[in-house]
Amino acid sequence: GGGRIFGALVVQSYREGTRFDRRNLEMLTFVSRHIGTALERKMADETIRRHAYHDTLTLLPNRLLFRDRLSQALAQAERREELLAVMFLDLDQFKAINDTRGHAAGDELLRETARRLRASIAGGDIVVRVGFLIDPLSLLMVMIVAVICFLVQVYSLGYMAGDDGFA
């Protein structure tokens, strides 16, 4: 589809002297085009699904996926009689960074913060970009104790963008 190459369809005969005629080649071309179309459709579906549930800037799950995971986590916490913490983070002076250093610097700060948050959470936790007015990132953590360790680990580090740093 669209001139893109997805792979190769190889057909081989183990009988000596076997040659494929024009009809065989036409059939193989037909089959390979249909396989290519199916692969292209599957890749497009995966892209649509990824965009529906993830923020394109940070690649974090979005509000829609957050709601789903939160309802699952709440149900699980209730069944197990466990505690659940939802933490909303606000990046101080984020608007000022966008205004003074430009949206590219703000975007880079969000991507770097998302990377650090993802690297700092446990397996059952999820970092989400919900896009509220109050905060650019949210975090659903299953264990409250992890919140304190997480904050110390992530925010004790400064962030450098080019020659300038955000503290």
pLDDT recorded at residue 164: 56
Between strands 164-166 and 159-161, the pairing is antiparallel
Q: Give 58-116 pLDDT, tens digit per residue.
A: 888 888 888 888 888 888 888 988 878 777 777 777 788 888 999 898 888 889 888 88
157 Cβ neighbours under 8 A, 6+ residues apart? 116
pLDDT of residue 54 exceeding 50, the answer is: yes
Mean pLDDT of 110-124: 85
Percent of the chain with pLDDT over 70: 76
If pLDDT is split at 50, 70 and 90, which confidence band does 3 have?
low
Mean pLDDT of 20-37: 89
- The stretches of the chain forming alpha helices (DSSP H) are 22-53, 63-80, 94-101, 103-120, 144-155
The Cα–Cα gap between 160 and 166 comes to 6
pLDDT recorded at residue 143: 38
The residue ranking higher by pLDDT, 141 or 85, is 85
pLDDT recorded at residue 100: 92
20 Cβ neighbours under 8 A, 6+ residues apart? 11, 13, 28
pLDDT recorded at residue 83: 78
Arithmetic mean of pLDDT over the chain? 77
Cα-based distances in Å from 130 to 43, 86, 133, 167: 25, 13, 9, 23
Q: Which residues pair with 161 in a beta bridge?
A: 164
pLDDT of residue 131 exceeding 50, the answer is: yes
If pLDDT is split at 50, 70 and 90, which confidence band does 15 have?
confident
The residue ranking higher by pLDDT, 127 or 166, is 127
